[in-house]
A and B are shown apart, each in its own frame.
Chain A
Amino acid sequence: MDQSIDARPAPPSRLTRARRLLATAPFTARLGMVLVAIYAFVAIFAPWIAPYGEVEVVSRIPFDGWSAQHLLGTDQLGRDFLSRLIFGARNSISIALVTTMISFGLGCLLGVFSALIGGFVDQAISRFVDALMSVPDLIFILMILSIFGNSIPNLILIIAVLTSTRFFRISRAAALNVASLDFVEAARVRGESLLWISIHEVFPNVLPLILSELGMRFCFIFLSIAALSFLGVGIQPPLAEWGSMVRDNAALINMGDITPLIPAASIALLAIAVNFVVDWLLNRASGLNEEG
């Protein structure tokens, strides 16, 4: 009956499958991936790419215009704008990345733990998370930073804790949902340990969702840090950061100079790129569900 299926060639290797997958990606997603790669390159090799140092004062003229020597001019202290932009990539992206990872680990651990334990502990943790989520993030961060003072570790920790509530929610929901699937139940009846079930049965099935959530949260954290720095309570000078570069040079805008918009645009472009990839991942994940 199903002989036609039997004639199928051996399943393709992982590499070929990955290549085929990429070929099906829409233009926006591919553009996003290329952009993310470029940002990563710039961030990693910043010291080699940047024409000047991060905090090096290279000109006596603050807010100097664009020139051959200083392609994007100089900032309010006479530092090379382009070099600060390049080092900014490194600082902004790495801090956002570290924060995302911490909040991911914290949120997922707690979420799965809470779902598995259930009962009173689960209720208590969930209520607390609900309450945390019912304060607007930016406000909460501002409040905590004003109390503890704004250092980079504080910033990372606070944002990570707040963002972990989202990871908590989705990982808890995923753990509860997946637990009701027949194949997970079958594994439980078989006598498998929770760890085995999580690794072999659950994780591969929720991976696409987790990846897209990671992407979205990275964007959110990245934008939050930029906003905080812009408000002057995030990453502090002399470290180069895109949000604070906008703030420090904002005066130029009223003179019709677009230079301060460049770091803002750099933030926007990375966030757009990540969101394009995430959107594609999400669409693919929902498409898979429809087929299955």
Chain B
Amino acid sequence: MNRTSHPILSMVASRVGLGLLSLLIVSLVIFFSVSLLPGSYASAILGQNATPEAVAALETRLGLDQPAIWRYLSWLAAAATGDLGQSFAGRPVMAVLGPRLLNTITLASITAVIAVPLAITLGVICARFRGRFIDRFLSTSTLASISLPEFFVAYLMMMIFAVKLQWFPSMAGIRNSMDLGEQLYRMVLPILTLLLVILAHMIRNTRAAILSVMSSPYVEMARLKGESEGRVVTRQALPNAIGPIASVVALNLAYLISGVVVIEVVFVYPGVGQAMIDAVRNRDVPVIQACALIFATAYIGFNLLADIVSIVSNPRLLHPR
């Protein structure tokens, strides 16, 4: 084969391009929504001390007298190098968020490592034994559990495992001074809660993705070739359901980074979510913008990954005529 470029490369490239475009639009929205702030940005920072002179001085210092588009571009350029500016409290945003981002990522990774294989396995089991007890049990209980508010699950866990059984601490305030074992021990309840929340979603979608393929003629053909039901699900249906499964996994991973806000608050876990809530209460706009940008990047990144997985898992694209 002497082709200059495989069609799959151009498809992946165009997805990456779309992802970058999305990121660009999001950054525009994030940046310019601030200019909608009632009253000026500088008087918001200064709060009570906003004398006209102080405001003018601050505006010059922050470069607010520059045109908006110029400020946007320099903000974007700085953000690309990891510099997210100064918080209202006067510290560099990255210094505030950096360690917390690490905590959130740790929590999310541990949960993901447990949740993804478990959810896919359980989803496959549901599809394999559809209509039987195990499937009906899991389908109904996951349906119920996706309806639960996260703080309900979190407090329930706390009530049972921390207050009644006293197995784990109810507060997950980890510090660097603690050893790894201690840190993990304190993270058990948040992880358990996160698991319950995302497992349900992933199990349901894995099952649905497989079942939607199970009515294909090639699945019946496999049965007519005498293939066992287990292999029909794993060998015939599962490979064809990779695309949709990848996208639901991506969605949940993105959620793990961003949607943990409530759970971090309940367990007082020092993550980015917690930081964002504090920033929102103090209306610390640069920190909020930075959080939104980080979360959006994670979201777009995971979705992009899922898109690429589903392109690569499609034999029509992978092996063109």
Contact = CB atoms under 8 A, between A and B. Distances in A.
B82 interface: no
Nearest to A258: B159
Contacts of B156: 261
Contact of B292 (A132, A135, A226): A135
Nearest to A146: B280
Given A147-B34, A148-B38, A267 B22 contact: no
Interface stretch (A51-59, A96-104, A170-178, A271-279): A271-279
A77 interface: no
Interface string A104-147: 00000000000000000000000110111011101110111111
15 contacts: A132-B29, A142-B261, A142-B280, A143-B289, A146-B280, A147-B37, A230-B149, A231-B280, A232-B277, A246-B151, A250-B155, A260-B155, A264-B151, A271-B149, A272-B148
Contacts of A268: 147-149, 152
Interface of B: 18, 21-23, 25-26, 29-30, 33-34, 36-38, 140, 143-144, 146-152, 155-156, 158-159, 162-164, 170, 254-255, 258-259, 261-262, 265-266, 276-277, 279-281, 283, 285, 288-289, 291-292, 295-296, 299-300, 303
Contacts of B280: 142-143, 145-146, 231, 233
A254 interface: yes
A253 interface: yes
Nearest to B30: A143
A255 B152 CA distance: 17
A88 interface: no
Given A28-B140, A264-B152, A131 B283 contact: no
A131 B25 contact: yes
A28 B38 CA distance: 48
Interface in A137-162: 138-140, 142-149
A265 interface: yes
Contacts of B36: 147-148
Interface of A: 28, 127-128, 130-132, 134-136, 138-140, 142-149, 219, 223, 226-227, 230-233, 243, 246-247, 250, 253-256, 258, 260-261, 264-265, 267-268, 271-272, 274-276, 279
Nearest to A147: B37
Contacts of A127: 21-22, 25
A139 B296 contact: yes
A261 B266 CA distance: 13
A149 B38 contact: yes
A243 B159 contact: no
Contacts of B22: 127, 130-131, 134
B293 to A, nearest CB: 9
Nearest to B27: A131
Contact of A261 (B23, B26, B30, B155): B155
A135 B258 CA distance: 9
Contacts of A148: 36-38
Contacts, number: 151
Listed from nearest, the 6 A-B pairs whose CB atoms lie closest are A271-B147, A131-B25, A264-B152, A136-B258, A272-B147, A146-B280
A41 to B, nearest CB: 20
Nearest to B266: A250
A138 B21 contact: no
B149 A135 contact: no
B25 to A, nearest CB: 4
Contacts of B277: 142, 231-233
A243 B30 CA distance: 27
Contact of B288 (A146, A149, A223): A146
A230 B155 CA distance: 12
Contacts of A243: 149, 151
A134 B292 contact: no
Nearest to B171: A254
A143 B147 contact: no
Contact of A276 (B30, B143, B162): B143
Nearest to B170: A254
A134 B38 CA distance: 26
Contacts of A223: 147, 149
A275 B147 contact: yes
Given A142-B277, A253-B159, A267-B152, A230 B262 contact: yes
Contacts of A261: 152, 155-156, 159
Nearest to A228: B262
A208 B38 CA distance: 42
A128 B151 contact: no
B279 A139 contact: no
A267 B162 CA distance: 23
B276 A142 contact: yes
A219 B277 CA distance: 23
Contact of B276 (A28, A139, A267, A274): A139
A135 B265 contact: no
A143 to B, nearest CB: 5
A134 B150 contact: no
B272 to A, nearest CB: 10
A135 B147 CA distance: 22
Nearest to B287: A146
